[in-house]
Amino acid sequence: MEIGLVGLGQMGAAMARRILAASHGLRVWNRSEEKAAPLVASGAKAVKTPREAADGDLVISMLANDHAVEEVVLGADGIVAGLRGVHVSSSTISVELARKLTEAHPLGKLVSGCVFGRPAAAEDGKLFVVAAGDPAAVDECGPAFDAIGQRTFYVGPDPYMANLVKIIGNFMIATTIETLGEAFALARKNGVEASKLLEVLSGTLFGAPVVKTYGELIVSGVYDPPGFRLPLGLKDVKLVLAAGEASEVPLPLASLLRDQFLDALAHGGQDVDWAALAEVSARAAGLE
């Protein structure tokens, strides 16, 4: 299959390596060209514009935010301008932009294929793919999804649906961090070790990867280097709030998270992992 990949950040590059490993043809594009070099050494072809990257069976975009997606997808030399097959949008973007992208694509040719998993999972092809769009188009993406992920979930016929599920997932991670932050603050101030509490939680009803991963980060108190930066967490909570606002859905948990994120940022949370959100609860409780 001839696949294009637009956006070679940490996740995009890992996905590119998986696609090459699966023996697909790959054309890559990135704003700063040097990121393409190692992939070219492994057999990819570097192209000059997103438009050229789109000139294959499938093109995947994996970009930082709404602004980058608008430019790279809808610009004069953008993906839509050159689209020959299906465009898989994997970026975490707003529901609003996803709807706008759908309008701008030929009917049925946009698939939202959002992914869950940290970069390490991407390297191992162990991402989870959440896909939405025209069923036939999603079927065409099968080989690509198989290359990058361990399992694909189909959530509906309109592409924005996958974007919504993606940001809901991130909202739920942030809620888990906040919950652990409050629980650990209460435990610690009452003389119970956070690690003991976490052991019980993980070992009983709350044995999900998210509790273990973030619980251990918070117990360690080491938030640097960040796996996912705190301001990005705020960005995603705001995407959820925006989706709620557009559809008139109050989301008091998301509102609370937003305020806690701002508190964290006002106390030096710019460059740390978003697990540091838990420090807000500790500080409010007067813990050092």
Q: Which residues are catalytic?
A: 166
Stretch that binds its own copies, among 13-21, 102-110, 136-144, 261-269 (CB under 8 A): 261-269
Query: Minimum distance from CB of 31 to its own copies (Å)?
Result: 26
Cα–Cα distance list, 211 to 54, 80, 95, 182 (Å)? 39, 40, 27, 14
2 versus 182: smaller Cβ distance to its own copies = 182
- The set of residues, in sequence order, having a beta carbon less than 8 Å from that of 138 and lying 6+ positions away, is 111, 131, 132, 154
31 versus 258: smaller Cβ distance to its own copies = 258
228 contributes a contact to its own copies by CB under 8 A: no
Tokens of 188: 């610690």
Query: Minimum distance from CB of 165 to its own copies (Å)?
Result: 6
Return d(Cα 231, Cα 258) in angstroms, integer: 11
Residues 198-217 that bind its own copies (CB under 8 A): 199-201, 203-211
| Bridge pairing between strands 86-89 and 45-46 | unpaired
Q: Alpha helix (H) ranges present in 110-208?
A: 119-123, 135-140, 142-148, 160-189, 194-203
The partner residues of 5 in beta bridges, in order of sequence, read: 28, 60
78 versus 159: smaller Cβ distance to its own copies = 159
Residues 84-103 that bind its own copies (CB under 8 A): 95
Interface pick for its own copies out of 33, 139, 193, 271 (rule CB under 8 A): 193
**3-class secondary-structure state, position 215:** helix
Interface pick for its own copies out of 19, 161, 217, 276 (rule CB under 8 A): 161
Count of residues binding its own copies (CB under 8 A)?
72
Return d(Cα 26, Cα 14) in angstroms, integer: 13
**3-class secondary-structure state, position 219:** helix
Interface pick for its own copies out of 164, 219, 272, 275 (rule CB under 8 A): 164
32 versus 204: smaller Cβ distance to its own copies = 204
Q: Alpha helix (H) ranges present in 22-78?
A: 37-41, 50-53, 66-74
Cα–Cα distance list, 219 to 80, 96, 193 (Å)? 46, 37, 9
Residues 13-72 that bind its own copies (CB under 8 A): none
* DSSP conformation letters of 63-115: -SSHHHHHHHHHSTTSHHHH-SSEEEE-S---HHHHHHHHHHSPTT-EEEEEE
81 contributes a contact to its own copies by CB under 8 A: no
Interface pick for its own copies out of 42, 48, 189, 220 (rule CB under 8 A): 189
Residues 100-119 that bind its own copies (CB under 8 A): 116
Stretch that binds its own copies, among 9-17, 33-41, 44-52, 191-199 (CB under 8 A): 191-199
Interface pick for its own copies out of 122, 240, 277, 278 (rule CB under 8 A): 240
Residues 124-153 that bind its own copies (CB under 8 A): 128, 130, 151, 153
